[in-house]
Amino acid sequence: MTSLDLFSNLDSEPLSSDISQHATLFHQFLAEDDDALLSDIRGVLRHSPLRHIQTPAGHKMSVKSSNCGEYGWLSDSQGYRYQKTDPMTEAPWPEMPSLVRNKAIEAAVLAGFDDFRPDSCLINVYLPGAKMGLHQDKDETDFTKPIVSFSFGLSVNFLWGGFKRSQKYQKFQLQHADALVWGGNDRLRYHGVQQLKDDVHPITGRCRINLTIRQAG
């Protein structure tokens, strides 16, 4: 192999796996930007801190969450919804960092979704034992827009279901710096996250951080 062959791959498309028809997992997509992205998110959390939110039925979610962007997703006794202000600070949510936005658009385009204008980023932090039950993302106005999901820190099993909660689901692992994009015919699939196992990750420590970037409005 010549040195040219050795480097000819550098600009090629990232390693990816097709999960289903319109769902793609880009492995290590964020590997070069992990520190910058996480430092941007720490900046966001200084203004709108992490908190446990309650489901409409009054159950405390096991993840801690916050938001950035024009719209923040939340839940309380009045239901699931997007809101432009943080109920904790009563101020607008912090701006979505441009690196988060740009990497989300880049992932969406690679997955075949050209016209994605993200205006919302939900930040979910999982400590060991936290999980997210099977659900659909359906509070957005336009289901032709994809969901882009970034993972950092501890690995977790992601559950990928059908269009009814009772349908069978497959499981695959999300690792640090992976990006998952789903839309099109897969946009309303049930999905969730299995309980996080206790471990320590060299970059995030004892947790997993997920960013779910959406076009909500």
Ligand X SMILES: O=C(O)CCC(=O)C(=O)O
Show Cβ contacts of residue 133 under 8 Å, excluding neighbours closer than 6 positions: 192
> Is 126 assigned to a binding site?
yes
Which of 23, 122, 207, 216 touches ligand X (CB under 6 A)? 122
DSSP H helices in 9-65: 34-47
Q: Residue 179 pairs with which residues in a beta bridge?
A: 26, 150
Which of 124, 125, 153, 186 touches ligand X (CB under 6 A)? 124
Torsion, Cα 50 55 60 65, to 10 degrees, reads: -10
Q: In sequence order, what DSSP letters do the residues of 79-127 get, joined into one string? A: EEEEESB-TTTSSBPPPPPHHHHHHHHHHHHHTT-------EEEEEEE-
Residue 132 CA to residue 59 CA, distance in Å, equals 12
Enumerate residues 166-195 that contact ligand X by CB under 6 A. 191, 193
* Residue 215 sits in the site that holds ligand X (CB under 6 A): no
Minimum distance of ligand X from residue 117's CB (angstroms): 19
Show Cβ contacts of residue 125 under 8 Å, excluding neighbours closer than 6 positions: 50, 63, 64, 65, 207, 208, 209, 210
Select 137 or 178, whichever has its Cβ closest to Fe ion: 137
Select 105 or 196, whichever has its Cβ closest to ligand X: 196
Which of 40, 86, 119, 137 touches ligand X (CB under 6 A)? 137
Enumerate residues 139-158 that contact ligand X by CB under 6 A. 149, 158
* Residue 44 sits in the site that holds ligand X (CB under 6 A): no
Residue 90 CA to residue 86 CA, distance in Å, equals 5
Residue 101 CA to residue 166 CA, distance in Å, equals 34
* Residue 67 sits in the site that holds ligand X (CB under 6 A): no
> Is 22 assigned to a binding site?
no
Minimum distance of Fe ion from residue 135's CB (angstroms): 6
48 binds, among Fe ion, ligand X, none (CB under 5 to 8 A by kind): none
Q: Which residues make up each annotated binding site for substrate? A: 73, 80-82, 139, 165
By CB under 6 A, name the binding residues for ligand X.
Answer: 122, 124, 132, 137, 149, 158, 191, 193, 210, 212
